[in-house]
Every structure is written in structure tokens, then in C-alpha cells.
Amino acid sequence: MTPDRRTLFISAFDVCRLIDLVGLSSFMERLSERIRKDFLRWPEFQKSARTANHSPGGVIELMPVSDKSHFSFKYVTGHPQNPLTGLPTIMGLGALSDFHNGWPLMICEMTLLTAIRTAATSVVAAKELANKDARSMAMIGNGAQSEFQILAFFNQLGITRANLFDTDPDATEKLISNLTRVKGLQLVRHDSVASAVANTHIVTTSTADKTRAQILTPEMIEPGMHVNAVGGDCPEKTELHPDILSKSKVFVEFEPQSRIEGEIQQMPPTFPVTELWQVLRGCQPGRTSASEVTVFDSVGFSIEDFSALTLVYELACTHGIGSELDLIPKLSNTKDLYGYLTSALSPGQ
């Protein structure tokens, strides 16, 4: 590839402009398809579990990955108490580089993109694992990611009813206010988890508390359900009772990472799971009967961020979105870094 000597900066507002240009539903569909295609070429990527630094109140993580053309990483935080001080629970930024020479092609916001790529990945999994006639879902946890999850399932899977529950009634009101004008989508408020999940086909859990919770318990699970567990994403943070896992067929993104951070951290090391890419490539079966209970134990993986960053980079270049950063010194003599410094300084400095 021809080296691009620009470094694009894509702000949160720039991402909003790109999404406005292509439409949110179209953007999420394109991202879901990009994620699916990148998972299909899973062996082409250099992968590792993310690096995490934990504090009593949260975690800061780095998520690197590369193929033969590009390297990307995401810096992402998770601090459940942040909203009390006016900060988001999850904050992120990402970088995309030319793998051949290391030049940083783009620095990009990833707070918004993380929510969108999580929903896009949920749909990729559900298309393989949920029953094809699924038309209802429960959304447990109505925070920052909830609207994207519901819209992704509505637009790409044909979900027409969403049962809603959150311990914070204001979060549910926020969700309803944001999605009330979506034609064909029925939003139903519930006063308990059990009520919300009853008689639904898909259950998505997306809660923030960094604790070993059992938000879903075995008696809530009905034959044929697909559970999309996206809230448990670090050690000592879970959402499902372990008996749900033992009685279900469980799918993960990257097993070494999920064993540490996912719902399966509660299970023995030999507990059987299937990585999603194996189902997409036809190496392993997904759902094998209409009555089977499937669980997508999703913690988020770097290939999903790679998909989001490469899509944004292509769209930004096509539509002329973003600004140029003077991030790396452009040297007339690549060995004379000191000369660059002195020539850049004003006389006398």
C-alpha cells in the first residue's frame, strides 16, 4: 500500500457526521457485515487478550490486534461510578496504523463507537445462535448501550418488541424517549427482571456494576432462549447465575480472554465453549435445536474494534471528514531528529 503521510483525527462529532451521512441503521449493518467478514478471516490476525490495569473503582485496558495490512488498538476504560461525577462509564479512543511501516493513519474517538460495535457484534452472534423466528427481546440494563442494542436487533433481526428493565427508572425513561418514534417497535416497561424476560426470545444483559451479580437466574430461562450477555467484561464482574451456563451452549469471542473476564470465569477451566468465528466458518455447530438455550458470553474483542476503525477510516477518507494531526515529525533527513527540533524552535530558544 502507498504510505499515507497524514494522520487523521476523528472526533466524537466527526463520527456523528459520518453516521449522519450514511444513516445509523446503514452504518450498523455495514459494521456488522465488516465484523462478520473479519471473524471469517480469524487466522489472519495476530491476537492477544487485552492488557488490563484494575483499580477499586474500575479498569483501564489496551486492546491491540493486526492483520497483514493494519494494526489497531483501543484504549478503553470502565468505571461504573463515573456517572455520579458526570463522566461516562465507558470511555475510549482508538488508533489505526499502517502495519508495514508503523505510520499512524488515524486517531479516533471510541466511546460512541464501542457502543455501536458491541451492538453490531451482538447481531452477528444472534443471527447464528438465536431461533430464526425470534421477534421479542428483553433489554436488562437501559444505560448508554441499550438503544444501540435494540436498534441493531430491530433493523437486522426483525425484533419488534423490547421489554425493558433497569434498577434506575430514569434510564428506562431515557431509552423510551430516545426510541419512541421508531415505527414498528414496541417498547414495554417492566418492574422486574423476571417480568421483562418472560416469554421473550432474546435476552440482552448490559449492566454496569463491577460485581459478581446474578441478574439472570435459572428459573427465568425458557427453552429456545438466546442470552446475549454483554455486561460482564472484567474479572469479578458477572451477570448470569452459573447454573444457566452449565445448562446452555456457550459461545465466546476469544477464549483466553473470556476465561478471565467473561461469564465463564465462574466455571471450571475445562468448561466447554465455542469461539464464534468457528461457527461462522462452519468449523463448529451453533444452535442445534429450537429448544436449545444459547449464550453469547461477549466481553468485547479487539477484532471488533479493528472492524470499526477500518470502516470509519474508509468512510472518513471518502467523505473528507476529520482533521489532520501533526503527530509524527515530518523529517527532511530521517536521521536528524535533533535538527528538526532546533529548526522548529524560534531563534534564541
For residue 63, give the amino acid letter: M
CA dihedral 333, 325, 66, 228 (to 10 degrees): 170
Same domain, 146 and 290: yes
Looking at every residue in the chain, the average pLDDT score rounds to 94
Same domain, 151 and 188: yes
- CATH label of the domain that carries residue 232: 3.40.50.720
Domain hosting 179: range is 132-300
327 assigned to some structural domain: yes
Same domain, 168 and 35: no
Instruction: Tell me how many degrees the CA angle 120-124-125 measures, rounded to the nearest 5.
Output: 120
Same domain, 278 and 316: no
Same domain, 181 and 265: yes
Distance between start and end Cα atoms, the chain? 40
Same domain, 149 and 291: yes
231 assigned to some structural domain: yes
| Model confidence pLDDT, tens digit, residues 150-205 | 999 999 999 999 999 999 999 999 999 999 999 999 999 999 999 999 999 999 99
234 or 103: whose pLDDT is higher? Answer: 103
2 assigned to some structural domain: no
123 assigned to some structural domain: no
Alpha carbon distance 253, 248 (integer Å): 16
Same domain, 146 and 242: yes
pLDDT, average across residues 263-284:
97
- CATH label of the domain that carries residue 108: 3.30.1780.10
Which sequence positions are flagged as catalytic? 233
Same domain, 240 and 315: no
Same domain, 87 and 174: no
Say if residue 4's pLDDT is above 80: no
| CA neighbor of 234 nearest in space, from 129, 110, 89 | 89
| CA neighbor of 131 nearest in space, from 343, 289, 334 | 289
pLDDT, average across residues 232-257:
91
pLDDT, average across residues 131-155:
97
322 assigned to some structural domain: yes
| Model confidence pLDDT, tens digit, residues 16-55 | 999 999 999 999 999 999 999 999 999 999 999 999 999 9
| Model confidence pLDDT, tens digit, residues 289-321 | 999 999 999 999 999 999 999 999 999 999 999
3 state DSSP class of 329: coil
Same domain, 175 and 247: yes
> How many distinct structural domains can be found in the chain?
2
Return the pLDDT at 1.
38
Alpha carbon distance 113, 115 (integer Å): 5
**Sorting pLDDT into bands at 50, 70 and 90, what band is 133?**
very high
Q: Name the β-bridge partners of 218.
A: none
pLDDT, average across residues 140-149:
96
191 assigned to some structural domain: yes
Structure-block grid coordinates of residue 247: 445448562
Same domain, 193 and 277: yes
279 assigned to some structural domain: yes
Same domain, 172 and 266: yes
Rounded to the nearest 10 degrees, what angle do helices 24-40 and 12-22 cross at?
100
**Neighbour count for residue 243 (Cβ, 10 Å):** 14
122 assigned to some structural domain: no
| CA neighbor of 302 nearest in space, from 144, 94, 155 | 94
Say if residue 2's pLDDT is above 90: no
